[in-house]
């Protein structure tokens, strides 16, 4: 007997007879909240890019497109994003295969370490690399110059390639994690039958394994591409001072230089439209090149894949993997910590120059303590609100299925494809007194609203996936057993998706805690976030102090991550 | 302890009408099996009874209580219908222990705590699951989960109990046991049970009456199992319940002949109603209604013989037409068995004549 797909929609239709019922209220709430949080800011950007005081005015937009700096910024954005995507994908797939399918030792440990770049804020990494290989004053640069008696600095990280390198080292886990889990869920008999049919190991990898994990590769590559296109931190730290702009840093520059005037924001809006166009083009391009097929042969249950013996290549590959880990995880971390103990930036890294003063200053400064509080407030609130709102949207889309559920889904996912910088401009335009006279500018609330829009799709995705696992018959069984609609939600559905909701919360809370892209445009004198505070300390030349705060931030992130892993491990049921 | 009455029920999904003007009355205190092929609307019908979908027309009553009436705009919500259900996919709540699952319906009835405990344990006893009371469903096998679902449906005294393929995941011995158990529970509670299945064997074993549903969602026949087996209302019932052989029949120069491909039509000396000779008809016969008889003009070639413990199963070729024959042990002792490769005479008992299905007239 087949069950009808619309089973829960049926139940909703049965309940729909009552004039005021919960399903209808939930649907209405979803639409209204999404309108406020997502639609209004986006509409405001488009409106302000093309209209001025109610009249169509393309002048600003055309001026911005013609401006040479902007064109080169667009070009740089593309170069960096495409470079980071290609290299990051290759690196991600290679290490995924190495850890997923070969007999390389210490897999568990290495896997955990390979995930670190994912939770490490890239702009802190950029700071560390800048300290080491800055084209003028990098510590290792200086060391190498004296060692080899060179006239110029050997490596210049403040270049397009430098930016690509740092982005790759933080974004390759997107591909790595997707592909590792796909490899683990792949039925090993698929490869074994190819071997039995006479294919060599190499052929099996190229003709069977890679094509099968192509959807996973494709999904990870897409994530690198969109994240890199929209990324602010790394190009801001490595390129900004050298005049290497990308679109997000250009938007920041335009607004920063105009001192927050409306004209500057309009220019920013015009640039935002450009950035959105670039992102959309990239998405289309990616879709063409790697049209993601879906294969059912990748099963949900885990299997024990046959491991490929590396034989003689084992030791060199192990050393390579360890070196990679040291280079991208440990070196930047050590560098930041070392610098944080320096009396002043530029002094040699020797013991007599070390002090704890930077930490004392950090903890004595009101601005810093405030920034930690602000970040905690904004990210916890955003996490909690998004957790509930995202679950609500997911429930409406998955189970109630009202008319216009497609629109609801698209609207809630929209900010995912829209760069954080762009979203900030939309939020500024929407909530600085132009609509209903509501002015949130310079308050923590505007940051919160931006976070909500930016992260809603995260929790919606996890809750959606969890709700799909909750078969409608579970709720129906409760109804038949005498539970009202509300009771069945509270007794059955919510407890079943609670783990997903909790992990949705942390998926938002953790990145929001170290966020800099969105808040850099929204902060006011008293509403700096942790990321903004580190960025501004560094910008003001107080590099050791920035490093000290960064160390504190990393500490907070590590502690929180440990808690998350502990919490998500003991899931019950489902 | 109530009869269930479906009157003129129509259910559609979008443009697809699953049930059209469907009527059926299930007598109080009976076990009625709804039997039909996949997608014939069995599940849709019981979902309408449970209040999980909304028919466009018709009336549903349980006892003297009206649960649904399209005209009078009556639609009792699912939670107030007092009908027990065992879902096909168990729908055992994975975050509750076995005991919590079974207690849930009683909790919703706001029963006192000790009564809940006592009745839940009793229900678990009935399905032999007491030792698993503290387990979580993901620690149980499919069959055990199914038994939890049955216990959960039994724990409250529902007017009607609906079971949607409740024992498909149990092994043969346990299935037998559960069928007996369901039977005994029904006797004790005197409940009305609506049992959905496509497995005719368990249907025959369990039910008082069978409702045969056809692919297009219409009721084909409603009657006791004997009536259904011995007097099928039409070709669909005859074919759907049990195994059947069909051989095209037509009027020959001297009486009826069977068309079995091959060289010449084979004369048939049994009784044939006049309309079946008009062409386009087939003779239907069950495998156990075919007996060996050397005097018969119908000669068949034995292609295979399998011994099944209580019977022999043969495949015979009449011309180019394959027929299946079941010979009971008793018959085998009295008439002897046929060997593979032999040619035997066969005779058809309890024959039926139906118009042939389109596209199957020639062999």
How far is the C-alpha of B338 from the C-alpha of B314, rounded, in Å?
A: 9
Q: What is the pLDDT of residue A12?
A: 55
Do residue B228 and residue B261 come from a single domain? no
- Count of residues in chain B: 363
Cβ within 8 Å, pair B77-A491 = no
For A68, how many CA atoms within 13 A lie in the half-sphere containing its CB?
1
End-to-end CA distance of chain B: 51
- B111 CB within 8 Å of a chain A CB: no
CB of B5 within 8 A of CB of B60? Answer: yes
pLDDT: is A22 or B48 the higher one?
B48
CB of A545 within 8 A of CB of A537? Answer: yes
Q: Where are the domains of chain A?
A: 20-44+358-569, 90-244+305-340
Domain A20-44+358-569 has CATH 1.10.3720.10: yes
For B333, how many CA atoms within 13 A lie in the half-sphere containing its CB?
3
CB of A515 within 8 A of CB of A553? Answer: no
Nearest to B52 among A10, A17, A483 (CB): A10
Nearest to A477 among B42, B91, B156 (CB): B91
**Looking at chain B from residue 342 to 361, which residues have their Cβ under 8 Å from any Cβ of chain A?**
none
For the entire predicted model, the pTM comes to: 0.78
pLDDT, mean over chain A? 82
Supply the DSSP symbol for B118: H
Residues near A176 by beta carbon (within 8 Å), at least 6 away in sequence: A91, A92, A93, A95, A96, A114, A220
Angle at A277 between CA A273 and CA A281, to 5 degrees: 170
Same fold, A20-44+358-569 and A90-244+305-340: yes
Which residues in chain B are closer than 8 Å to A15, comparing Cβ atoms? Answer: 77
- B91 CB within 8 Å of a chain A CB: yes
How far is the C-alpha of A318 from the C-alpha of A456, rounded, in Å?
A: 40
Supply the DSSP symbol for B194: E
Nearest to B91 among A11, A15, A476 (CB): A476
Do residue B251 and residue B327 come from a single domain? yes
Judge whether residue A188 has pLDDT over 80: no
Identify the weakest region by mean pLDDT among A34-43, B78-87, B248-257.
B248-257
Domain boundary among B239, B256, B290: B239
- B128, two tokens: 């032999």
- B265 CB within 8 Å of a chain A CB: no
Do residue B214 and residue B124 come from a single domain? yes
Residue A478's pLDDT band, with cuts at 50, 70 and 90, is: very high
Domain boundary among B239, B271, B302: B239
The secondary element (H helix, E strand) that includes residue B312 is: strand B311-318
Do residue B230 and residue B253 come from a single domain? no
Nearest to A473 among B51, B89, B152 (CB): B89
Q: Report pLDDT digits (tens) over B309-318.
A: 888 999 998 8
Do residue B124 and residue B220 come from a single domain? yes
Nearest to A473 among B82, B91, B104 (CB): B91
How far is the C-alpha of A552 from the C-alpha of A337, rounded, in Å?
A: 10
CB atoms within 10 A of CB A307: 13
Structural domain boundaries enclosing B258: 245-355
For A330, how many CA atoms within 13 A lie in the half-sphere containing its CB?
9
Which residues in chain B are closer than 8 Å to A10, comparing Cβ atoms? Answer: 47, 52-54
Q: Which candidate, B22, B27, B28, B29, places its Cα nearest to that of B6? A: B22
Q: Which candidate, B8, B3, B1, places its Cα nearest to that of B218? A: B8
Identify the weakest region by mean pLDDT among A352-361, B234-243, B354-363.
B354-363
pLDDT: is A303 or B160 the higher one?
B160
CB of B266 within 8 A of CB of B343? Answer: no
Cβ within 8 Å, pair A481-B138 = no
Which residues in chain B are closer than 8 Å to A496, comparing Cβ atoms? Answer: 93-95
Q: Report pLDDT digits (tens) over A96-141.
A: 888 888 888 877 788 877 777 777 788 888 989 988 888 778 888 8
Cβ within 8 Å, pair B54-A477 = no
Nearest to B38 among A2, A481, A495 (CB): A2
What's the CATH code of the domain at B254?
A: 2.40.50.140
- The answer to the question of residue B360 being in a domain is no
Tell me the percentage of chain A whose pLDDT exceeds 70. Answer: 91
* B270 φ/ψ angles, rounded to the nearest 5 degrees: -80, 175
Find which of A15, A471, A476, A482 to mutate to test the B interface (most B CBs within 10 Å of its CB): A482
Q: Which candidate, A84, A86, A94, A85, places its Cα nearest to that of A213? A: A94
Identify the weakest region by mean pLDDT among A241-255, A259-273, B19-33, B283-297.
A259-273
- The answer to the question of residue B184 being in a domain is yes
For the residues B179-199, what does the mean pLDDT come to? 84
Residues near A108 by beta carbon (within 8 Å), at least 6 away in sequence: none
Residue A67's pLDDT band, with cuts at 50, 70 and 90, is: confident
Cα A505 to chain centroid, rounded:
14
Burial of A462 (0-12, 13-18, 19+ CB in 10 A): buried
CB atoms within 10 A of CB A99: 21
CB of A76 within 8 A of CB of A245? Answer: yes
How far is the C-alpha of A219 from the C-alpha of A93, rounded, in Å?
A: 12
Q: Report pLDDT digits (tens) over B109-155.
A: 889 999 999 999 998 988 888 999 999 988 888 788 888 998 998 88
Do residue B134 and residue B82 come from a single domain? yes
pLDDT: is A412 or A553 the higher one?
A553
Do residue B328 and residue B344 come from a single domain? yes
Q: Look at strands B160-164 and B83-86 and give their pairing.
A: parallel
Q: Which residue of B has its CA nearest to A479?
A: B79
Q: What is the pLDDT of residue B296?
A: 85
Judge whether residue A360 has pLDDT over 50: yes
CB of B323 within 8 A of CB of B279? Answer: no
Residues near A368 by beta carbon (within 8 Å), at least 6 away in sequence: A362, A533, A549
Do residue B111 and residue B137 come from a single domain? yes
Which residues in chain A are closer than 8 Å to B88, comparing Cβ atoms? Answer: 1, 3
Do residue B220 and residue B282 come from a single domain? no
Residue A15's pLDDT band, with cuts at 50, 70 and 90, is: low
What's the CATH code of the domain at B93?
A: 3.40.50.300
Q: Which residue of A has its CA nearest to B109?
A: A482
CATH superfamily of A90-244+305-340: MetI-like (1.10.3720.10)
- The answer to the question of residue B361 being in a domain is no
Q: What is the pLDDT of residue B103?
A: 93
How far is the C-alpha of B276 from the C-alpha of B266, rounded, in Å?
A: 16
pLDDT, mean over chain B? 86
Cβ within 8 Å, pair B198-A1 = yes
Q: Which candidate, B209, B211, B236, B213, places its Cα nearest to that of B225? A: B209
Closest approach of B324 to chain A, Cα-based (Å): 28
- B94 CB within 8 Å of a chain A CB: yes
- The answer to the question of residue B362 being in a domain is no
**How many structural domains are present in chain B?**
2
Cβ within 8 Å, pair A479-B105 = no
Judge whether residue A573 has pLDDT over 50: no
Closest approach of A181 to chain B, Cα-based (Å): 23
Identify the weakest region by mean pLDDT among A13-17, A70-74, A235-239, B52-56.
A13-17
Do residue B67 and residue B90 come from a single domain? yes
Do residue B11 and residue B157 come from a single domain? yes
Identify the weakest region by mean pLDDT among A60-64, A171-175, A524-528.
A60-64
For the residues B250-260, what does the mean pLDDT come to? 82
Q: Starting at the edge strand that comes first in sequence, how are the strands of the sheet with B255-258 ordered?
A: B266-267, B255-258, B245-252, B281-285, B352-355
Residue B303's pLDDT band, with cuts at 50, 70 and 90, is: very high
Cβ within 8 Å, pair A482-B138 = no
CB of A248 within 8 A of CB of A233? Answer: no
Judge whether residue B107 has pLDDT over 60: yes
Q: Report pLDDT digits (tens) over B230-242.
A: 888 888 888 888 7
**Looking at chain B from residue 174 to 203, which residues have their Cβ under 8 Å from any Cβ of chain A?**
196, 198
Domain boundary among B213, B239, B265: B239
How far is the C-alpha of A301 from the C-alpha of B34, rounded, in Å?
A: 35
Q: Which candidate, A402, A384, A408, A391, places its Cα nearest to that of A34? A: A408
Cβ within 8 Å, pair B54-A13 = yes
Count contacts between A and B (CB, < 8 Å). Answer: 109
Do residue B219 and residue B291 come from a single domain? no
End-to-end CA distance of chain A: 24
Cβ within 8 Å, pair A14-B53 = yes
Q: Which candidate, A316, A324, A306, A307, places its Cα nearest to that of A92? A: A324
Residue A4's pLDDT band, with cuts at 50, 70 and 90, is: very low
Nearest to A471 among B44, B75, B91 (CB): B91
CB of A247 within 8 A of CB of A74? Answer: yes
Nearest to A2 among B39, B95, B136 (CB): B39
């Amino acid at each position: 007997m087949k069950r009808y797909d619309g089973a829960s929609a049926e139940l909703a239709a049965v309940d729909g007879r009552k004039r005021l019922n919960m399903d209808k209220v939930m649907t209405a709430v979803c639409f209204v909240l999404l309108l406020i949080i997502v639609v209004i800011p986006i509409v405001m950007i488009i409106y302000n890019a093309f209209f001025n005081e109610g009249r169509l005015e393309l002048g600003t937009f055309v001026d911005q497109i013609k401006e040479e700096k902007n064109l080169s910024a667009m070009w740089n954005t593309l170069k960096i994003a495409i470079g980071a995507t290609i290299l990051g994908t290759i690196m991600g797939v290679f290490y995924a295969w190495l850890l997923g399918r070969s007999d390389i030792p210490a897999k568990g440990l290495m896997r955990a370490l390979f995930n670190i770049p994912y939770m490490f804020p890239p702009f802190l990494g950029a700071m560390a690399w800048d300290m080491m290989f800055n084209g003028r004053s990098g510590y290792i640069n200086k060391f190498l110059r004296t060692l080899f008696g060179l006239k110029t600095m050997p490596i210049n990280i403040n270049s397009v390639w430098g930016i690509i390198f740092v982005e790759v080292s933080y974004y390759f886990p997107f591909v790595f994690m997707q592909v590792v889990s796909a490899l683990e869920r792949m039925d090993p008999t698929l490869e074994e039958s190819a071997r039995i049919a006479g294919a060599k190991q190499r052929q099996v990898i190229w003709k069977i394994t890679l094509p099968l994990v192509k959807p996973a590769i494709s999904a990870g590559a897409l994530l690198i591409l969109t994240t890199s296109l929209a990324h602010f931190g790394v190009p801001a730290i490595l390129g900004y001072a050298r005049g290497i702009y990308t679109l997000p840093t250009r938007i920041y520059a335009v607004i920063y230089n105009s001192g927050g005037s409306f004209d500057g924001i309009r220019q920013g809006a015009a640039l935002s439209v450009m950035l959105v166009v670039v992102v959309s083009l990239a998405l289309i391009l990616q879709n063409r090149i790697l049209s993601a097929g879906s294969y059912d042969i990748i099963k949900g249950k885990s299997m024990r894949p046959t491991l490929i013996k590396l034989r003689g290549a084992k030791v060199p590959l192990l050393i390579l993997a360890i070196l990679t880990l040291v280079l991208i995880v440990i070196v930047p971390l050590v560098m930041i910590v070392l610098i944080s103990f320096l009396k002043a930036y530029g002094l040699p890294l020797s013991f007599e120059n070390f002090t704890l003063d930077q930490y004392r200053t950090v903890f004595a400064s009101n601005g810093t303590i405030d920034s930690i509080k602000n970040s905690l407030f904004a990210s916890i609130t955003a996490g909690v609100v998004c957790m509930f709102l995202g679950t609500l949207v997911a429930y409406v889309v998955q189970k109630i299925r009202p008319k216009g559920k497609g629109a609801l889904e698209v609207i809630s996912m929209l900010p995912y494809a829209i760069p954080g910088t762009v979203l900030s401009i939309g939020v500024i335009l929407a909530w600085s007194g132009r609509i209903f006279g509501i002015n949130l500018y310079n308050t923590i609330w505007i940051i919160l609203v931006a976070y909500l829009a930016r992260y809603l799709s995260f929790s919606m995705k996890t809750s959606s996936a969890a709700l799909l696992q909750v078969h409608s018959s579970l709720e129906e069984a409760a109804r038949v057993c005498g539970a009202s609609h509300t009771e069945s939600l509270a007794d059955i559905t919510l407890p079943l998706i609670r783990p997903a909701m909790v992990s949705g919360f942390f998926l938002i809370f953790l990145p929001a805690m170290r966020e800099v892209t969105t808040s850099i445009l929204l902060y006011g004198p008293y509403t700096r976030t942790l990321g903004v505070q580190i960025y501004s300390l560094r910008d003001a030349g107080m590099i050791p102090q920035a490093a000290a705060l960064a160390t504190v931030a990393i500490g907070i992130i590590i502690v929180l991550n440990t808690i998350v892993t502990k919490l998500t491990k003991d899931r019950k049921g489902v | 302890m109530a009869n269930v009455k479906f009157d003129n029920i129509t259910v559609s999904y979008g443009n697809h009408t699953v049930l059209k003007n469907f009527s059926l009355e299930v007598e109080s205190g009976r076990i009625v099996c709804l039997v039909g092929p996949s997608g014939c609307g069995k599940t849709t019908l019981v979902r309408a009874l449970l209040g999980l979908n909304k028919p466009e027309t018709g009336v549903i009553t349980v006892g003297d209580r009206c649960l649904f009436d399209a005209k009078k705009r009556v639609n009792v919500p699912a939670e107030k219908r007092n009908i027990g259900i065992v879902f096909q996919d168990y729908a055992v709540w994975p975050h509750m222990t076995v005991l919590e699952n079974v207690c849930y319906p009683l909790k919703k009835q706001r029963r006192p705590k000790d009564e809940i405990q006592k009745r839940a344990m009793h229900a678990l006893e009935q399905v032999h699951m007491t030792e698993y009371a503290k387990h979580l469903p993901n620690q149980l096998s499919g069959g055990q989960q199914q038994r939890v679902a049955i216990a959960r449906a039994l724990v409250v005294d529902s007017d009607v109990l609906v079971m949607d393929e409740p024992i498909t995941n149990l092994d043969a011995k346990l299935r037998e046991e559960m069928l007996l158990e369901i039977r005994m529970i029904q006797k004790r509670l005197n409940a009305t049970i609506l049992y959905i299945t496509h497995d005719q064997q368990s249907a025959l074993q369990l039910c008082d009456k069978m409702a045969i549903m056809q692919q297009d969602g219409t009721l084909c026949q409603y009657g006791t199992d004997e009536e259904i087996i011995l007097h099928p209302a039409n070709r669909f019932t005859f074919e759907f319940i049990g195994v059947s052989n069909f051989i095209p029949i037509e009027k020959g120069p001297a009486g009826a002949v069977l068309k079995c491909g091959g060289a010449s039509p084979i004369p048939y000396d049994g009784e044939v109603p006049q309309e079946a000779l008009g062409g386009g008809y087939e003779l239907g016969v069950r495998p156990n209604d075919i007996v060996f008889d050397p005097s018969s003009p119908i000669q068949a070639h034995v292609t295979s013989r399998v011994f099944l413990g209580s019977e022999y199963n043969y495949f015979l070729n009449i011309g180019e037409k394959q027929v299946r024959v079941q010979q009971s042990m008793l018959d085998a002792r009295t008439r002897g068995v046929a060997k593979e490769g032999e040619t035997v005479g066969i005779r058809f008992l309890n024959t039926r004549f139906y118009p042939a299905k389109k596209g199957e007239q020639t062999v």
